[in-house]
Structures are given as structure tokens and as C-alpha cells.
């Protein structure tokens, strides 16, 4: 069967890495201030004033290298893993709809939690600002669980999804838990009830069995 990383996953990784490199070069040359981080990171107070594009652009931003070099590494590894899986199961358009849709829903949910919780647990769960592809990537995790439902791989897929969510949301410092949660839930919903995969459910063990799609653009 056709294996490896599909073109959409490759492009998404490339865009994230290119934006990361350019933003960090600017941050270094400017002595600590970056217009790229200011304009593209999800800053809730600015979105509430009209900077709504940040709900989208924050999906392609990652923590500065000097602050957290593992942020982009972990996210790109997860995107490579789950992106490659999803791109074999869904068409390119479906895959992008899940990825971008889950990322947007996660960011919108984070904004709503921030706006409705001036203090307390809500602000703790989303932080003062947010950036990263993790909400979108959790959408791919959710859509893969949705695809695996009904197969022998469902239990393993669900266990791994819960494990990744728990570790990345509660064991590695300050993260946007709301974006993770709504990313995975929206990915599951899209993959299960709205977007039909290219392949029907085969016996799955992190690799599908049966005729592979030729990366259809539908």
C-alpha cells in the first residue's frame, strides 16, 4: 500500500517551520521584540478588539526557540505521525477541513473561555495568550479515533489519544488545555459524523489494510 508522508502533511510542516524560523530570526535581530509574534499569536484581549485573524494565524506560530525549543519539535513530530495517518484515510480537502476546522474551533473555544472568565480556572486553562498547532493536531488525533471506531484498532487508538492528551495538557508546563480538548472533540465529530473518509473501515493497527487512496484531491 502507499505509505509515507503525504504532500499536505509535508506542506503543513514546511509552513510551520518556515514561519518559526522567520519569526525567530526577527526576534533575534530586533533584540527581543517581534512584530510577527505580536501580529500572529492569539492574544485574546487583541482579538476582542478586532484582531480576529489571530484565531487562524496562531495555528502556525510556536514558542520562541529561546523559551521552549521542544514546542515546535513535539508538534511537528505529532503532525508527521497523525498527519500521515489521516492523509491516507481522508482526501486532501477533507484532511485540511479537519485540521483547520479543529484548530479554529479550539482557538474560538479558548477565546470564549477567556472572555467569560475574568479570573480563576478559565484563565488558567487558556493562559493570557496562545500559539501552536496542537489544537489542529489534536483534531487529527480525534479524526483518527473516529475512523478506527468499529475496528480492532479502536481501543489502542482511543488509549493513545487519551495518553497524549493527558501528557501534553497536564504534564509539560503551561499549555492551552481548552484548545487541546476542543481540538480533539471537534476532530472526532468531523471525522465521525460530518466528513466521510475515503476508505471504509478496515482492520487498522496504525496502518490501514486494503486498497490505498492515491491522495485524492476532492
Per-residue pLDDT reduced to its tens digit, 9-28: 999 999 999 999 999 999 99
The per-residue pLDDT for 199 is: 60
Mean pLDDT on 121-143: 89
Mean pLDDT on 163-178: 82
Per-residue pLDDT reduced to its tens digit, 40-98: 999 999 999 999 999 999 999 999 998 888 999 999 999 999 999 999 989 999 999 99
Mean pLDDT on 156-182: 87
The domain made up of 7-194 has a fold known as Rhomboid-like fold (1.20.1540)
In this prediction, residue 213 has a pLDDT band, given cuts at 50, 70 and 90, of very low
211 vs 80, more confident: 80
Pairing of strands 42-43, 129-130: antiparallel
Which residues, 6+ apart, have CB-to-CB distance to 125 below 8 Å? 113, 176, 177, 178
Of the listed ranges 18-22, 39-43, 116-120, 212-216, the least confidently predicted one is: 212-216
Considering only CA atoms, which of 107, 137, 131, 110 is closest in space to residue 41? 131
Amino acid at each position: 500500500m502507499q505509505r509515507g508522508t503525504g504532500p499536505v502533511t509535508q506542506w503543513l510542516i514546511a509552513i510551520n517551520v518556515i514561519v518559526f524560523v522567520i519569526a525567530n530570526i526577527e526576534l533575534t535581530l530586533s533584540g527581543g521584540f517581534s512584530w510577527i509574534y505580536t501580529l500572529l499569536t492569539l492574544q485574546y484581549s487583541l482579538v476582542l478588539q478586532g484582531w480576529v485573524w489571530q484565531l487562524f494565524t496562531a495555528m502556525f506560530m510556536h514558542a520562541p526557540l529561546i523559551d521552549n525549543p521542544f514546542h515546535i519539535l513535539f508538534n511537528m513530530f505529532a503532525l508527521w505521525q497523525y498527519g500521515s495517518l489521516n492523509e491516507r484515510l481522508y482526501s486532501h480537502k477533507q484532511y485540511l477541513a479537519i485540521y483547520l476546522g479543529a484548530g479554529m474551533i479550539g482557538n474560538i473555544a479558548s477565546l470564549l473561555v477567556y472572555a467569560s472568565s475574568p479570573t480563576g480556572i478559565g484563565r488558567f486553562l487558556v493562559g493570557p495568550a496562545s500559539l501552536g498547532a496542537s489544537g489542529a493536531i489534536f483534531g487529527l488525533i480525534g479524526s483518527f479515533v473516529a475512523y478506527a471506531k468499529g475496528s480492532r484498532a479502536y481501543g489502542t487508538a482511543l488509549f493513545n489519544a487519551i495518553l497524549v492528551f493527558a501528557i501534553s495538557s497536564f504534564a509539560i508546563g503551561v499549555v492551552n488545555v481548552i484548545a487541546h480538548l476542543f481540538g480533539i472533540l471537534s476532530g472526532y465529530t468531523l471525522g465521525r459524523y460530518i466528513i466521510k473518509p475515503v476508505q471504509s473501515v478496515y482492520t487498522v493497527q496504525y496502518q490501514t489494510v486494503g486498497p490505498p487512496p492515491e491522495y485524492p484531491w476532492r
